[in-house]
A and B are shown apart, each in its own frame.
Chain A
């Protein structure tokens, strides 16, 4: 069935990017334009810290501008669900597959083919709806959203229009401390289910375009926020929190680079104190959270400056593209009035009916969502910095929780994970699931240090071995004979040896150069191969050094 060949669209190069035709399909835009693609590639390697600095400098000007003006920001997010099969057929979807290898008559829109809803899509929608504190519609339905584009095989997208599956929710998040911190609650207008479109591939010569329908029919949840955000950072953090949430829930991989999570931003500015909103501009092609933040800051600046110059009427309702290379937004198309999608109820699918039991079952199976995790960590006494770090990645949080469940000291577990474990993951570019260290062993390691079986220094050495090669703490201690020396007599013997081997330094110390204590401690530690208990060592060392003065 997949052998049906796709013909190229024979259209002239000038018309490869017929933006006027793109009006209807927001989500695939950045995939359909070559020049945009190359631009984002060239800037991909920019170090992140640099962009932060840019953002901060920018923010100073911005802060000034925002004393008189206020930005109103709302976001539409499309999340691709990681269900095994597509929304309405049995095809699987694997990002990066050869074009048109995951297709069938249904997702190709062949005559006579009919959609059959994958019930996992509803499950994902209910999960996200509950996690976003939404009201769920016990009876919702699918509708057809109609427009023509070659990546849309049926000529309509199966979506939800007037009765979305979830409405009126909110999301809680904590802003990062480097941006001043603080808790935010943003409203969620609605969550609805729909299907993704395919992709257009443009040939090098630009003489024709080809259609890849692998992505056609992949389930999406569209999440529409209330216009509650006021800055680029808030908007970016809203996106990041949604990403965190879908990952916690396991409904999507939330990967922005692969297009599994796509954000379109609506933004307007108005003079402070004015009740009505300013003219709204939509920004697309936002491929990272920092792009969201920077695009919004750019757009606020642009709009406020136009206001300040008395050119407020030049702000028109339009769709603008974020150009990552130039770090600015440019006009993509002006709105020619509201598009008429001629929605009507999808007659090929029965209505979606949720029972209270079904919803309660799912509610009962929901994992701890990021907000609850952060509040719990906070209550446990962790600092906000630690809370945000640990709860950021669901796997890290799970690792941390598992470590604690083995009885590890909370603060020490946090420090180890955020310190050496995180550093290793960063250097090796691996996730916490890919390292060999288990929460059990981390707990054991922490315990061994706490009870004095090994020193902190030895602990660190073992940790890297555990991360890279695995094994158990007990096994390594035994194998390498690393048990800490706490016997004062044994340590005294080593101190005596060091003192006798360094008479000159002893003399200097006693002559008042007490800083040399560190030198002696180091020598003794070396003598013990790092196993001497530092407390005992220092106590005896001081006694010895000070005794004969």
Chain B
């Protein structure tokens, strides 16, 4: 089914591009001409004439800071300017950090550079954080009225690590309430628009984080992925989304939706940025006993140019394309984009074969049973007693009932009800237990497929972004959209979504994302393949029209 067309000339063409060399080590020996074809901030430098390949904004910023080309304050101001201009149209943020505080943090980075002190790789990098990840200096509502105004007394471990590396938290991004949804329409506060087409959804639940990165309102952002909440919005917004292996990143401070499936993930405009952010937040955390003790490899070293210089840099890699993800119910445009991506991988030297995961379709119902069951339990703590909105009542039961009735939105209530039902005496075996059995089957079938292949590929979603309101009143249609991603959460595997093409179905071109699934704890391989794929993909620019000209990447 896949045509193998070799486009050696493509690869050769790329050699003229000065900026596919992303991360020479050490960073200090970086030659400016490798990076500064892309402009940072409001002072556009010369644009490369022939290509729009994404570069690492993080490495660019780091380099321009160290070479004193730009100050952290200048960089912060330029992002804040864009953030302010785009925000009324997009509504990516539920809370934007105090501008003075952002600039103060940027000044601190500049002072460090002046004093020749070490600056972390995220120094001066503006990071958006999904609002279900706790931040001590900003509200953390998880998009829910029940946590309206709640300020946690601690930073999530991931946030703490970002700050330790000099990252500046620019604000809290919008999401479907508690992460339950695929469009941000489930947010209790606002609906975020897709930067490519403001009448479309950005995807969800991490829609705010995806839109903010896509529109260059911030450099990178943190999201969370329970059933595809990082990968599907990445696909809809044309950015890179990375869902790490379960346990790779501490969940401490992530407002729990479904504990056994939740993972904090990363958004960036390049594979390198997503990888660098993952590097920053990974590792064992003594506050999360499900976080892995495994060593975190050096992801950044994967973003070197050497392998891309070869004509077939991915020679010998086995790629399995999941047959069930290209069958009925998947948009033709999506299918063709993925097939093109597959042939591009073949061009790069991969052998692409079809694999079948017969359990694939079982994943969706199993996911909804398990996620709802866990959520019904995880959301019990929102009782109005200690924090969040409390409704004054005559009796305790009414206090609970009213606080929760008014605090939760309809989708959250639906899932609490489903989960409570699934865990009830007499139903547990038929639902929860059965779903766990399916989960084991799914995990085993992935394991088998990944024993035969280095990575598996599929679309990230059955369609490109759809209209706001289109599926809002059809929860089943909404759930069906998660078919591509939920199995990966059930199996706990890492997956990378990166833009690979466009859907030409509507009036506007909307990006389509390719999902690459790797073996547990093999983010390294995903990042390497993803980076080569991205740096050699010709003819597409994934900068949405909302981003002012002059800011390319």
* Residues in chain A within 8 A of chain B (CB atoms): 1, 3-4, 6-7, 9-12, 15, 18, 21, 105, 108-117, 144, 146, 148, 150, 153-156, 211, 338, 340, 342-344, 347-350
Contact = CB atoms under 8 A, between A and B. Distances in A.
Interface stretch (B11-19, B31-39, B380-388): B380-388
A116 B288 contact: yes
Contacts of B390: 7
Contacts of B282: none
Nearest to B425: A340
Contacts of B260: 347
Interface stretch (B42-50, B314-322, B392-400, B457-465): B392-400
B386 A113 contact: no
A340 B150 CA distance: 31
A113 B377 contact: no
B386 A338 contact: no
A337 to B, nearest CB: 10
Contacts of A110: 152-154, 386-387
Given A9-B396, A11-B399, A21-B397, A155 B380 contact: yes
Nearest to A154: B381
A397 B84 CA distance: 76
Given A1-B154, A109-B386, A110-B153, A10 B392 contact: yes
B341 to A, nearest CB: 34
Size range of the chain B interface in the assembly: 35 or more
A150 B290 contact: no
B383 A155 contact: yes
B129 to A, nearest CB: 12
B424 to A, nearest CB: 6
A155 B252 CA distance: 19
Contacts of A153: 381, 385-386
A146 B380 contact: yes
Which 7 A-B residue pairs are closest in the complex by CB-CB distance?
Answer: A155-B380, A347-B259, A347-B260, A342-B423, A112-B253, A111-B255, A1-B153
A114 B252 contact: yes
A4 B428 contact: no
Main DSSP-derived SS at the B contact region: loop
A440 B537 CA distance: 87
Interface string B290-301: 100000000000
Contact of A340 (B290, B376, B377, B424): B424
A6 B134 contact: no
A156 B379 CA distance: 10
A350 B394 contact: no
A115 B395 contact: no
B406 interface: no
B386 A4 contact: yes
A111 B388 CA distance: 10
A342 B252 CA distance: 25
30 contacts: A1-B154, A7-B386, A7-B390, A10-B393, A10-B399, A105-B153, A110-B152, A110-B387, A111-B255, A112-B152, A112-B156, A112-B251, A112-B252, A112-B253, A113-B252, A114-B251, A114-B252, A114-B288, A146-B423, A150-B396, A154-B380, A155-B380, A156-B380, A340-B424, A342-B424, A344-B373, A344-B428, A344-B432, A348-B256, A350-B289
Given A112-B254, A156-B380, A117 B395 contact: no
Contacts of A148: 380, 383, 400
B253 A21 contact: no
Contacts of B256: 111-112, 348
Main DSSP-derived SS at the A contact region: loop
A340 B424 CA distance: 7
A114 B397 contact: no
Contact of A211 (B140, B253, B385): B385
Given A342-B424, A348-B259, A111 B252 contact: no
B394 A4 contact: no
Contacts of A109: 381, 386
Q: Which of A1, A4, A113, A114 has the most CB atoms of chain B within a 10 A radius of its CB?
A: A114
Contacts of B253: 112-113
B142 interface: yes
Nearest to B436: A345
Given A111-B142, A112-B255, 10 more contacts: A10-B399, A21-B397, A105-B153, A112-B152, A116-B287, A116-B288, A117-B289, A211-B385, A348-B256, A348-B289
Interface of B: 133-134, 140, 142, 147, 150, 152-154, 156, 251-256, 258-260, 286-290, 373-374, 376-377, 379-383, 385-387, 390, 392-397, 399-400, 420, 423-425, 428, 432
Nearest to B404: A148
A513 B395 CA distance: 87
A108 B385 CA distance: 11
Nearest to A4: B153
Contacts of B287: 114, 116
A381 to B, nearest CB: 53
B423 A348 contact: no
A144 B428 CA distance: 14
A27 B496 CA distance: 49
Contacts of A338: 425
Nearest to A7: B390
A9 B399 contact: yes
Nearest to A105: B154
A21 B386 contact: no
Contacts of A155: 377, 379-383
A6 B384 CA distance: 11
Given A111-B140, A112-B134, A150 B425 contact: no
A15 B395 contact: yes
Contacts of A344: 373-374, 377, 423, 428, 432
Contacts of B133: 112
A338 B376 CA distance: 20
A15 B147 CA distance: 26
Nearest to A341: B425
B179 to A, nearest CB: 12
Given A6-B386, A105-B153, A347 B396 contact: no
A513 to B, nearest CB: 84
A12 B399 contact: no
A350 B167 CA distance: 32
B377 A156 contact: yes
A260 B223 CA distance: 44
Contact of A11 (B290, B374, B395): B395
Given A109-B381, A111-B147, A116 B289 contact: yes
B395 A350 contact: no
Contacts of A11: 393-396, 399
B289 A111 contact: no
Contacts of B432: 344
A148 B400 CA distance: 9
Given A144-B377, A344-B377, A111 B150 contact: yes
B388 to A, nearest CB: 9
A146 B377 contact: yes
A211 B152 contact: no
A116 B153 contact: no
A10 B373 CA distance: 30
Nearest to B395: A15
Contacts of A4: 153, 386-387
B155 to A, nearest CB: 10
A153 B385 CA distance: 8
Given A146-B380, A344-B377, A347-B260, A3 B153 contact: yes
B396 A111 contact: no
Contacts of B150: 111
Contacts of A3: 153
Nearest to B291: A114
Q: Which of B133, B147, B399 has the most CB atoms of chain A within a 10 A radius of its CB?
A: B399
A162 B394 CA distance: 38
B395 A18 contact: yes
B386 A211 contact: yes
A114 B289 CA distance: 8
Nearest to B153: A1
A338 B377 CA distance: 19
B385 A150 contact: yes
